Chains A and B, each alone.
Chain A
């Protein structure tokens, strides 16, 4: 698993991939270019076409039309075992009748790699996932996190040109999931491999990815870096899916301003020229103005509906005069606590023009 073996790492191009199941279109002309060494997440709710997309990449589903290229090679019609793609499955898919070492060396045996080369590769793979010395363990003796690592080691040992991960952390508890996310990110850097990661967890995607492709109804709606996706969503679907956003209907005034319940809000980004517009209110981007502070633009006044103390932060639900309820998050430090109000209190909040994001309604 030396660096030199990954010199031939390649990118992936998915060109107009379409999958029809009868009249139902599971995947609708999807285009995606993944650069060599890139970590790209496919993010979407269930039923958005993620699984079909993964099936087409892995070779388990034949696309109705379109092409998949691994580097220069067209693999659209290649069977799964000739694709050279390491897949980490949702439920690990470890072979229960084999121990850890047998599971991890399965790809070597399948590829008829001479046995003399196995021990070094096995050692390196187990070291990579910090399971040194676990070779003889039975699968049922392992914890969820350890199984996850075995699945990773097995998918990496044959130095595949692409690694696919299908919600690999969804079966783990929150704490383990978060530490595995960081570990996967480090592993990606160490391996320098191309990774496509399928998930429905936006936080996971934001944490790990170089770029995120958001899917909806069989199409990629937006593909961008986590920052771009969070700060500049293309429509109300992406905006509602990323972060902790409330979407509030607004009316367009001009290129850089909208009105919300009679209040004019200025945005530093151009406002789309359509009728159905939404203001994306990310709860952490709103600041609570100190009492009597009414300077600057984009001030909104509302009645506190409820406050929730959530440990590291306080979440305030605020009812605006127009009837919309937005959520505001303030840190639970001293300043935050002095701002904490009681239901029925009237407070003023401020939205910076840079954070005033207006999106069109998703089609």
Chain B
């Protein structure tokens, strides 16, 4: 039985291919392991350490210290409001971009993406200037006689929400556009020929088919908003306290690495939880736009 000892050439070929794929992936894998997985493990490890020993004290603070859970509450509230605001603003934009001519949709998408290439810091400062007491927005409203005294648009939660909404808008528009573009135009034509008014066709056909994009954009914006730092720091005026700021205070002011780590770990778990929930509705690859 000399034949049975020989390895099937197709198996050999398959092994060679697997080795090649592994080699191609190796640099990226090393970077991810070295710069992401290892530090994350270190972070988790830190959150259970104090004075060289094991402790649960950092996590106990989530129950005992009301600043902690209030910060989480405010962060989730801001993230929620920002997500709803971006969805309401982005849906019509994506709709127009998806139904317009190719040239027009490129123009619209370019306008959405262009600010994206400017630093978040610059955009946050820009909003600070626009929204301040004697800023462009207040003087315009005053000039039109719509207000008697300047509105307080900045140094509070409102300012944070406005600027964050603007900065995160592309993350909502793009997945929505991608989902809407895949909806065949003849479905809308079929819907109306079968007697559906434009509103009925939108409600029964277009909206349900755009939901994967809605979910993708919602998850992306919500998760990004949860970890937002520069914008609330600049526009919150100290009154808006988000989780990322809690982390930075613990390190900058108190050098409390353990506390900062535990907050990061809890936030990370929240994000994992959100992705898990979302992926129960649509697969993860689709949220990230792979399919």
Which A residues are closer than 8 A to B by beta carbons?
A: 58-60, 79-81, 83-87, 89-91, 93-97, 106-107, 109-111, 154-155, 158
Contact = CB atoms under 8 A, between A and B. Distances in A.
22 contacts: A59-B192, A60-B189, A79-B192, A81-B197, A81-B198, A87-B189, A87-B190, A89-B189, A91-B184, A91-B186, A93-B184, A93-B186, A93-B189, A95-B187, A95-B204, A97-B209, A106-B204, A107-B194, A107-B195, A110-B194, A111-B195, A154-B194
A89 B190 contact: yes
Contacts of B194: 81, 86-87, 106-107, 110, 154-155, 158
B204 A80 contact: no
B205 A110 contact: no
Contacts of A111: 195
A59 B193 contact: yes
Interface string B178-194: 00000010110111111
B193 A87 contact: yes
B189 A158 contact: no
A130 to B, nearest CB: 21
Contacts of B209: 96-97
Contacts of B200: 81, 109-110
B53 interface: no
Given A58-B189, A86-B193, A109 B204 contact: yes
Contacts of A59: 192-193
B189 A97 contact: no
A58 B192 CA distance: 9
Contacts of B198: 81
B52 interface: no
Nearest to A151: B190
A309 B191 CA distance: 48
A107 B201 CA distance: 11
Interface residues of B, number: 19
B119 to A, nearest CB: 41
Nearest to A106: B194
A83 B194 CA distance: 9
The 8 A-B residue pairs with the shortest CB-CB distance, nearest first, are A93-B190, A110-B196, A110-B195, A80-B192, A107-B194, A87-B193, A93-B186, A81-B192
A90 B191 CA distance: 14
A72 to B, nearest CB: 21
B287 to A, nearest CB: 18
Contacts of A96: 209
A153 B194 CA distance: 11
A81 B189 contact: no
Given A96-B209, A97-B209, A109-B204, A85 B193 contact: yes
A87 B196 CA distance: 13
A79 to B, nearest CB: 7
Contacts of B187: 93, 95
B208 interface: yes
Contacts of A80: 189, 192-193
Given A93-B187, A106-B196, A110-B197, 20 more contacts: A59-B192, A60-B189, A80-B189, A81-B192, A81-B193, A81-B194, A81-B197, A86-B193, A87-B189, A87-B193, A89-B186, A90-B186, A91-B186, A93-B189, A95-B191, A95-B204, A95-B205, A106-B191, A109-B204, A154-B194
A58 B193 contact: yes
A261 B197 CA distance: 64
Contacts of B189: 58, 60, 80, 87, 89, 93
Interface string B232-259: 0000000000000000000000000000
Nearest to B197: A81
Contacts of B191: 95, 106, 110
A106 B201 CA distance: 10
A95 B194 CA distance: 12
A96 B208 CA distance: 10
Contacts of A87: 189-190, 193-194
A59 B197 CA distance: 13
A91 B189 CA distance: 12
Contacts of A85: 193
Interface in B191-223: 191-198, 200-201, 204-205, 208-209
A109 B201 CA distance: 11
A86 B193 CA distance: 6
Contacts of A95: 187, 190-191, 204-205
A75 to B, nearest CB: 12
Contacts of A107: 194-195
A94 B190 CA distance: 8
B225 to A, nearest CB: 29
A39 B282 CA distance: 45
Contacts of B193: 58-59, 80-81, 83, 85-87
Contacts of B205: 95
Contacts of B204: 95, 106, 109-110
A158 B195 contact: yes
A97 B208 contact: yes
Interface string B74-102: 00000000000000000000000000000
B179 to A, nearest CB: 12
Contacts of A84: 195
Interface string B150-191: 000000000000000000000000000000000010110111
Contacts of B208: 97
A249 B195 CA distance: 52
B203 to A, nearest CB: 10
